[in-house]
Amino acid sequence: MTGGGASVADKSGSASLVDSYPNGKGGWAADSADFNADTSGLVYAICAPAAATAP
């Protein structure tokens, strides 16, 4: 995995993205605050074969 991130789309303006971090060898996780029914979020990981990331 080369990286990742997250975003929160909140129509009420109360939710926020607290943290975004690697989760194991092939995943990404995110924490949010005040997540409610009018809020959606997206978490993504960017992966590549190990040979593609070697210097």
For all residues of the chain together, what is the average pLDDT? Answer: 82
- Predicted TM-score of the model (pTM): 0.67
- Residue 34 region, left (φ>0) first, then alpha (ψ -120 to 50), else beta? left
Domain ranges of the chain: 3-47
Q: What is the pLDDT of residue 26?
A: 78
Q: Mean pLDDT lowest for which of 10-14, 15-19, 27-31, 41-45? A: 10-14
What average pLDDT does range 11-35 have in this prediction? Answer: 85
Yes or no: say if 3 and 47 are a contact pair by the CB < 8 Å rule.
no
* Chain segment 31-45, per-residue pLDDT in tens: 988 766 677 889 998
